[in-house]
Amino acid sequence: MAAMAETGSVLLDEAGRLFGDLFASAEARLAAERGEWPEAAWRRLEEQGFTLALVPEAKGGAGLRPAEVWPLLRLAGHYALPLPFAETVIAAALWARAGGEVPAGPLTLAPALPGETLRLDAAGRLSGRAHAVPWAGQAYIVASVTDARGKPVLALLPPQKEAGARRTLGGDPAPDLVLDGATPEALRPASASLSLPHGWLALGAHMRAEQLVGGMARALAYAIEHANTRVQFGRPIGKFQAVQHMIAEAAGELAAATAACDRAAPFFDEEEGVLDAAIAKARASEAAGKVAEVAHQVLGAMGFTREHPLHFTTRRLWSWRDEFGGEHHWHEMIGRRALAAGGEALWRLLADRPEGVMDEAGEAR
Amino acid sequence: MAELRFPPVRLPAEARAVREKVRAFLRDELEAGRFTPDVDSWGRFDPEFSRRAGRAGFIGMTWPKAYGGGEYSALSRFVVACEMLAAGAPCGAHWIADRQSGPQILRHGSELARRTLLPRIAAGECYFAIGMSEPNSGSDLASVRTRARREGDAWVIEGSKIWTSRAHQVHYLIALTRTGDPGPDRHQGLTQFIVDLKAPGVIIRPIHNLAGGHEFNEVFFDRVRVGDEWRIGEVGEGWRMVTGELAFERSGPDRFLSDYRLLTALIDHLGVEPGAEEVGAEEARAVGRLVAHLGALLSMSQAVAGLLAAGENPAVEAALVKDVGTRFEREIPEVARRFFSGPVRSGGADYFERALGRVMLHAPSYTLRGGTREILRGIIARGLGLR
Ligand SMILES: Cc1cc2nc3c(=O)[nH]c(=O)nc-3n(C[C@H](O)[C@H](O)[C@H](O)COP(=O)(O)OP(=O)(O)OC[C@H]3O[C@@H](n4cnc5c(N)ncnc54)[C@H](O)[C@@H]3O)c2cc1C
C-alpha cells in the first residue's frame, strides 16, 4: 500500500526507491532531528529533479501537473523525510509561477498558521511575526505578505539563520519568524487565489494533508505487520477481534482522508480548489489522531520505544495535523461557507466539480 | 498486505449530462408539489414517484435496452442515486430492485426472468425485497435453514425469513435457501430463488419497528412452489451470488445520505438571515466537520462506483464505504441535538425538529441493516491482510 498512491507510475516508483534509501538508518534520522542538515540526502533529491517537480519546464523544472505531484508529497509523508521537501516543491512552484527566479537549495512557506500577517511598508521593508515556520533557519522563505495598499504580494527572504532552534514534535525545525524592517530579496505579485482569505493557508494545508495520508498509511502498515507477527495467548494478536476492529476503524479513517485528498488533487492554487484543500486538511488532521492512536495501541510497548521506527511517523502525524491550521480551524472555515450558502446549496457545493480541472486530473491518471 | 483502492474518477460527459437531466426532473417534481423532501429518502415508499422516475429513465439505467434499461454507465447511475437522495425524494419503492435485485437477475437470472421482470422494474412498477435474514441467521448468514427441494422441474420452499423490508408492499423477494450440504466452509449448498409474494403458501406478518412504523416483516414459506426458471445462478452457488450482491448493496450513496436532509435542515436552522448576527464558531465547526466528512465519503463512494463500472468486485472497499458512511449518518443527529434546546417532541411545526426526531429513532438501524458494523470490520480486517 505504497501510501495508497497509484502504483505503477514510473515516477512514483523511482521516488519511492529514493525516499526509502535516503534515511535507511534510524541514526541518520536522529542526526537530522538533532540539527545536522542532511546535505547528502538533500543533494540527491535535488539532482533527481524532484524538488522542482511543479516548476514549469521553461523555468528549469519538471513541469508536472498538480495531480501528478501531490502523490509525490504523499510518498514523502510515507517515508517521513526529515527534510523540507514538500515545502520546497510548493514554494518553488509558487515563486516560479509568479515569475520569480527560484533560488538553489531548500525553500519554505510563511506564514504557516492561521491569522498571522506580515506587512510590507511603502519603503519595501517587511515586519511582523509568523510562528512555527518550517525550516525557516535552513530554507529560503516564500512569504505571503500584505503591502502598504493592503494587497497580497509574494516576498522572498533568505534563510533566517538566527531564527532559533524550536522544533516540532516530529523533530523538524519550526522556529518563529520575527521581522522588523527586513528587506526581501525580491517581490512578486500574488495570484488571485492567494489573495482569498484562506487561499494562502489552504495551499500549505493541502501539502500537509498529503503528507498526513502517506504517514497514516505507513503507521497502519506497521500495525498490520505487527498484528500478524506478534503472538500472544498462542496466536497472532491480529486474530483477536478487538485488534481487527481497531485496525479496520483506522483503515476507514485513512480511506476517508485519502479520498478527501484525491478530491483536491486537480488543484494547485486555483480559487476553486480552496474548499477542497480545506476539506482535505480537515479530514486528514482528524483521521491522523485516530490512526496514530490505533497504531500505538496495536504495537504495545514496543511501539513506545525509540528503537521501533513507528515514532518517526506518529510524531510527525501529531505535528502535521496542527500545522497550516488544524481540523478545528478548517471546520470553522468550511462550516461558515456552508452556512452562508444555506442547506439547499450544500449539495452543489460538494458535488459540482469544475470540469476543466477535472479533465486535467483525468488525463493525469 | 492487500492494497485498498479508491482511485479518483472523473465523471464522464454522459454522467454530467444525466445529472442535469435528473436535476431537471426533480425540480419539476418539486415545483408540481409531487413530493416533499424528507429524511430517509430510500425508505419512503411511493409507487407513483417510482413510476414517474421509471418513465423518465432513472431506474435500471445500466441495463441493456432490450430489458428496458438505458445502457448508461455505472457512474451515471451513481449520479442519479446521489441526486435523488440529496433531494430527499421518496425512492423507496424501487430502490432495492434497482440497486441489487435487478442487477442480480440480469447477471444470473434465466432469460425468462430477465424478460418478464427487468422491463417492469425499469418502468418503476415492479418492486423487490431481500430475503436473506432468518430468525436464527442474522450475521451468520451461511447458517440459513429455509430449504428448497427439487420436485420435478420446480422447487418447493419451506421455512421463513425475517426483517424483510417492505415484503407487504412489494411483488417479489429473492430468497437465499439451502439446497444441499454446507461443506466444510458452510458456503456450499446455497441457492437463490425469486419468489412471487402472491404465490400460494407465502404468509407475511408485520413487525412494527420501535418508531411504530410497519416497514419490515416476517415471511413464511409453506411449501411454496417455484419454477426452476426463477433460480438465480447455478444450484449451490448462492453464497457467491449473495456476496456479489452485497458489493452493490454496501458501497452506494444510500450508506451515507439516509439523513442528508437533516444536515441541510441543521444548516438552515443555524443559518442567519442576512444582516443578523454572525454564526458562532462552535456552530460553524460542527457543521464544517460534517461537511468535510461528507465530501470525503462522496469521493470514496464515487471511486467504488468507478471500480464497479470497470467490472471489478471491490467488496472490501464497499465495506469501508458502509462502515465510514453509516458512522457519519449516526453522527448527524448527535451533532444536530446540540443545537436544539430541549427534548424533541411530536406535533411541532418545525421541520428540523421532526427530522431530528425521526432520525434519532431510525439511527440504530443504519449500522445493522445490510451487515452490521462488526461484520463489516471483520471483512475489512481480512481484506487488509490480517490472517
Ligand atoms: C431496518 C432493518 C431492515 C432490514 N431489512 C432486511 C431485509 O430487507 N432483508 C433481510 O434479509 N434482512 C434485513 N435486515 C436484517 C439485517 O441484515 C440484520 O439485522 C443483520 O444482518 C444482523 O443480524 P441480526 O439482527 O440477527 O443480529 P445478530 O447477528 O444477532 O447480531 C447482534 C449483535 O452481535 C454482533 N455479532 C454477531 N456476530 C458477530 C461476530 N461474529 N463478531 C462480532 N460481533 C458479532 C452484531 O454485530 C450485532 O452487534 C434488516 C435489518 C434492519 C434493522
Q: Is A251 on the interface with B (CB under 8 A)?
A: yes
pLDDT, tens digit (0-9, with 9 covering 90-100), for B283-330:
999 999 999 999 999 999 999 999 888 888 888 899 999 999 999 999
Residue B272 binned pLDDT confidence (cut-offs 50, 70, 90): low
Percent of chain A surpassing pLDDT 70: 95
> What is the B375 CA–ligand 1 centroid distance (Å)?
9
Asked if residue B73 has its Cβ within 6 Å of ligand 1, the reply is no
CATH of domain A199-351: 1.20.140.10
What is the reported pLDDT for A1? 34
What is the reported pLDDT for B251? 84
| CA B93 – CA B58 distance, rounded (Å) | 13
B296 with A339: Cβ contact below 8 A: no
The β-bridge relationship of strands B172-178 and B128-131 is parallel
Q: What is the mean pLDDT of chain B?
A: 95
Average pLDDT (B161-174) is 98
Residue A6 binned pLDDT confidence (cut-offs 50, 70, 90): very low
Q: Is A278 on the interface with B (CB under 8 A)?
A: yes
Range with lowest mean pLDDT among A3-17, A98-112, A318-332, B93-107: A3-17
- For the question of residue B249 being annotated catalytic, the response is yes
> In the block, which residue shows the cell 440497486?
B99
Domain ranges of chain A: 2-190, 199-351
Average pLDDT (B227-251) is 91
| CA A177 – CA A157 distance, rounded (Å) | 11
Average pLDDT (B62-86) is 97
Domains and CATH numbers, chain B: 13-126 (1.10.540.10), 130-237 (2.40.110.10), 252-383 (1.20.140.10)
Of all protein residues, whose CA lies closest to atom 23 belonging to ligand 1? Answer: B138
| CA B48 – CA B381 distance, rounded (Å) | 43
Average pLDDT (A220-231) is 98
| CA B205 – CA B223 distance, rounded (Å) | 17
- Report the residue from A225, A257, A344 with minimal CB separation from B296: A257
ipTM: 0.95
B291 with A4: Cβ contact below 8 A: no
Ligand 1: nearest atom to the Cα of B139:
29
Smallest CA-to-CA distance from B8 within B207, B296, B377 is with: B296
Average pLDDT (A311-337) is 98
A334 with B288: Cβ contact below 8 A: yes
Average pLDDT (B105-121) is 97
Residue A356 binned pLDDT confidence (cut-offs 50, 70, 90): very low
> In the block, which residue shows the cell 523544472?
A61
CB atoms inside a 10 Å sphere around CB B45: 19
Smallest CA-to-CA distance from B229 within B128, B155, B136, B295 is with: B155
For residues B340-354, one letter each, b for 16 or more C-beta atoms within 10 angstroms of the residue's C-beta and e for the rest, the string is: beeebeeeeeebbbb
Percent of chain B surpassing pLDDT 70: 98
Residue B273 binned pLDDT confidence (cut-offs 50, 70, 90): low
CA geometry: angle A155, A48, A92, nearest 5 deg: 10
Q: How far is CA A182 from CA A124, A148, A185, in A?
A: 9, 15, 10
pLDDT at A106 over 90: yes
What is the reported pLDDT for A249? 98
What is the reported pLDDT for A167? 97
Average pLDDT (A129-148) is 97
A346 with B263: Cβ contact below 8 A: yes
What is the reported pLDDT for B3? 65
Asked if residue B190 has its Cβ within 6 Å of ligand 1, the reply is no
A-chain CB neighbours of B10 within 8 Å are 358-359, 361-362
Higher pLDDT, B197 or A272: B197
Which of B76, B279, B291 is the best substitution to test chain A (most A C-beta atoms within 10 A)? B291
Q: How many helices (H) and strands (E) does chain B have?
A: 12, 8
Please, which residues have CB within 8 angstroms of residue A127's CB and are 6 or more apart in sequence?
A118, A119, A121, A179, A180, A181, A182
| CA B253 – CA B268 distance, rounded (Å) | 22
Task: Kindly indicate whether the domain formed by A2-190 is annotated with CATH number 3.40.50.300.
Answer: no
Average pLDDT (B174-187) is 96
Residue B167 binned pLDDT confidence (cut-offs 50, 70, 90): very high
pLDDT, tens digit (0-9, with 9 covering 90-100), for B17-64:
999 999 999 999 999 999 999 999 999 999 999 999 999 999 999 999
What is the reported pLDDT for B314? 86
Percent of chain B surpassing pLDDT 90: 88
What is the reported pLDDT for B275? 53
pLDDT, tens digit (0-9, with 9 covering 90-100), for A39-64:
999 999 999 999 999 999 999 999 99
pLDDT at A5 over 70: no
pLDDT at A358 over 60: no
Residue A258 binned pLDDT confidence (cut-offs 50, 70, 90): very high
pLDDT at B76 over 70: yes
CA atoms within 13 A on the CB side of A296: 15
Asked if residue B374 has its Cβ within 6 Å of ligand 1, the reply is yes
B-chain CB neighbours of A220 within 8 Å are 384
For residues A65-83, one letter each, b for 16 or more C-beta atoms within 10 angstroms of the residue's C-beta and e for the rest, the string is: bbbbbbbbbbbbbbbbbbb
Which of A78, A210, A226, A334 is the best substitution to test chain B (most B C-beta atoms within 10 A)? A334
